[in-house]
Each structure stands twice: as structure tokens, then as C-alpha cells.
């Protein structure tokens, strides 16, 4: 484990590489683990097989299974709070160092921590969209309907394993009743980009714009396994901008990074704030 003195030295080095800014942050599930939300691919993470978009829209059994698990899991994520990593990025933005955050997370913890310019690349767990009429509603409103249809279902489940997208691992979802859109009767889906589904083009273009405006890129807590986030690292590197990757374990973009740091996000980002403002 990196001790305090090492972290201070590493943070100084990170600051030297990133420069005076503006620095853009790209974050993944690793920044939220200290808030109690597990990641997908970090060291020690259990194997996960997220549901695909095709499974969700094409099979009522898959859809029932997902909503039952989400009915339990979203409550856990709803109770989580930002950690020192989220707060550190918000402080760097307030200090004028950070220009914004592109996050692959759907937990909304950056906004809760005070970050003002955030692109929720993969959507948000706290919203639900109708695939027919496109109406978006708060997840809490749907929870009331699901609870009415499935009284005591969530309360009867204890000690569940929760995934970063508010999914929960349940032994059985038999008998769970799914709610359709209250306006048109269409299929409801979490406002989250599923595997097999494309990130909306406008979000990608906005992310590219932030990369173009930034002087450096800081990646925090992402293995960069999927292209949706890795593309921004490649764009920054292609423009000759410094790229610092802070993550537990190797990433898919280590070869094009200027500096890689194998450390936890919360202590390292807190040390980085001190390096900039202390």
C-alpha cells in the first residue's frame, strides 16, 4: 500500500504532468468503491455478466429479472454518498484547476459532491425512460408503483450483492410484476446505456469538446476496458496532451498514458488537491 509520504510525492508528480490546467477528469467505477458501490473489473471484483439491451427489450423474463433486481439494488445506491475522491474533484473544479468531469458511472455522486460540469456518459440510475413515448420519470416515482405491485418484495431480501448500475444479485425473481409506462403503456427502461447500446451521439460530441478545450486529462478509477471511455483518452493522446491514469491495476490505455499511478482514488485525489492548493 502506498504510504502518506509516497502519496504526497506521487501527487506532486501528477501535478507536474497535468500542469496548471484546465484539466478534464474521466472517471469510472473505481472512484465510487469507497462509497460502498463495487466496481466491475477492479482487483478482487467478482465476475459479472451485465444484461444486454437486446436481452432486456427482447425477452419479458429477462426484463422481469432485471426490474426485480433493480427494485432491490437501486435503494442501496440511493443511500450512498460521495467520498473523498468525488469531493476532491469538486474542489479542484472550484479552484479553477478542473474544467469538468466525464463519468462512466450512473450513481450521480459527482453532482452530489458539488461538481458542476458533469457528462453522465452512460446515463443516470435515478431516471427511467419509456421506449415508446420517450417520457423520462424519476426512479423514485417508479419505485412507488413497483412497491404497490410487489409489496414487501424488497424488504424480504437481505445481504444482497449490488453492482455499479444499481443491479442486485437475487436467487429468484419469480412472480415479480413489472410496471409499464403510466402514460402510453410502453416499455420502461432505466435511463442507462446498456451493453449492446450506443452512447447518445450528443454526449460523445460534448465529451470530445471538453477534451479539445482541456490542457490535460486525468483518468480516475477506470480500467478503460470499453471504448465509450477509452476514446477520450485516445483523443487527448492524439492531440499530444498529458494523460495521467489513476487506477487500481492495469488499464487498456496504459501504453498511451504519460503517467500511470496504481493507487486508490480517494487518498490520491485528496493528495492532488493538496499539491495544487496547499
Residue-level pLDDT at 1:
41
Q: What torsion, rounded to 10 degrees, do the Cα atoms 269, 272, 274, 278 define?
A: -160
225 alpha carbon, distance to own chain's centre: 13
Report pLDDT for 89.
Answer: 98
For the domain bounded by 1-37+81-122+198-278, which CATH number is listed? 3.40.50.1220
Instruction: Let me know if 133 is exposed, middle or buried by CB neighbors in 10 A (0-12, 13-18, 19+).
Output: exposed
Q: Is 47 annotated as a binding residue?
A: yes
Q: Going by DSSP bridges, is the β-strand pair 136-138/123-130 parallel, antiparallel, or unpaired? A: antiparallel
Task: Please choose, from the candidates 6, 1, 3, 15, the residue with its C-alpha nearest in 3D space to the C-alpha of residue 272.
Answer: 15
Q: Which of 71, 86, 110, 122 is catalytic?
A: 122
CB of 117 closer than 8 Å to CB of 174: no
Ordered per-residue pLDDT tens for the chain, 278 residues = 445 559 999 999 999 999 999 999 999 999 999 998 876 554 554 555 677 899 999 999 889 988 988 888 887 877 899 999 999 999 999 999 999 999 999 999 999 999 999 999 999 999 999 999 999 999 999 999 999 999 988 776 655 555 555 555 555 677 899 999 999 999 999 999 998 899 999 999 999 999 999 999 999 999 999 999 999 999 999 999 999 999 999 999 999 999 999 999 999 999 999 999 98
The answer to whether 248 is annotated as binding is: yes
Do 18 and 216 touch, CB atoms closer than 8 A? yes
Asked whether residue 212 is marked as a ligand-binding residue, the answer is no
- Respond yes or no: is residue 122 known to be catalytic: yes
Three-class SS state of 77: helix
Q: Which fold has domain 43-79+123-192?
A: SIR2/SIRT2 'Small Domain' (3.30.1600)
d(CA 51, CA 7): 38
Domain ranges of the chain: 1-37+81-122+198-278, 43-79+123-192
Residue 144 in grid coordinates: 412507488
* DSSP assignments along 133-167, one per residue: T--EEEHHHHHHHHHHHSTTTTTT--S-EE-TTS-
- 8 three-state secondary structure: helix
Q: What is the pLDDT of residue 30?
A: 95
Closest of 97, 110, 77, 80 to residue 220, by C-alpha: 110
Answer yes or no: is 177 a known binding residue: no
CA distance 51 to 72: 16
CA dist 71 and 135 (Å) reads 20
For the entire predicted model, the pTM comes to: 0.89
C-alpha 181: how far from its chain's center? 26
Q: What is the pLDDT of residue 171?
A: 54
Q: Which helix (H) or strand (E) holds 35?
A: none
Q: What is the pLDDT of residue 79?
A: 86
* Residue 208 annotated in ligand binding: no
pLDDT of residue 5: 55
In this predicted structure, what is the pLDDT of residue 17?
A: 98
Amino acid at each position: 500500500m502506498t504510504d502518506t509520504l509516497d502519496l504526497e510525492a506521487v501527487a506532486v508528480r501528477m501535478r507536474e504532468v497535468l500542469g496548471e490546467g484546465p484539466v478534464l477528469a474521466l472517471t469510472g467505477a473505481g472512484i465510487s468503491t469507497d462509497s460502498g458501490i463495487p466496481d466491475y473489473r477492479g482487483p478482487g471484483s467478482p465476475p459479472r455478466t451485465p444484461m444486454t439491451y437486446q436481452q432486456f427489450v427482447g425477452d419479458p423474463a429477462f426484463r422481469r429479472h432485471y426490474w426485480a433486481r433493480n427494485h432491490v439494488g437501486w435503494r442501496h445506491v440511493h443511500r450512498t454518498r460521495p467520498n473523498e475522491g468525488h469531493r476532491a474533484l469538486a474542489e479542484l473544479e472550484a479552484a479553477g484547476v478542473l474544467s469538468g468531469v466525464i463519468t462512466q458511472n450512473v450513481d450521480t455522486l459527482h453532482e452530489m459532491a458539488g461538481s458542476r460540469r458533469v457528462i453522465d456518459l452512460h446515463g443516470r440510475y435515478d431516471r427511467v425512460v419509456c421506449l415508446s413515448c420517450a417520457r423520462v420519470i424519476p426512479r423514485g416515482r417508479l419505485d412507488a408503483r413497483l412497491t404497490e405491485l410487489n409489496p414487501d418484495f424488497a424488504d424480504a431480501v437481505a445481504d444482497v450483492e449490488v453492482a455499479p448500475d444499481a443491479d442486485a444479485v437475487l436467487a429468484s425473481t419469480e412472480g415479480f410484476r413489472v410496471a409499464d409506462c403510466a402514460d402510453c403503456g410502453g416499455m420502461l427502461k432505466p435511463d442507462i446505456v446498456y451493453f449492446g447500446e450506443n452512447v447518445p451521439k450528443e454526449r460523445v460530441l460534448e465529451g470530445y469538446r471538453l477534451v479539445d478545450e482541456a490542457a490535460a486529462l486525468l483518468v480516475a478509477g477506470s480500467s478503460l476496458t470499453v471504448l465509450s471511455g477509452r476514446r477520450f483518452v485516445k483523443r487527448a493522446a492524439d492531440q499530444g496532451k498529458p494523460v495521467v491514469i489513476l487506477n487500481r491495476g492495469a488499464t487498456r490505455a496504459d501504453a498511451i498514458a504519460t503517467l500511470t499511478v496504481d493507487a486508490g482514488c480517494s487518498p490520491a485525489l485528496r493528495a492532488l488537491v493538496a499539491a495544487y492548493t496547499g
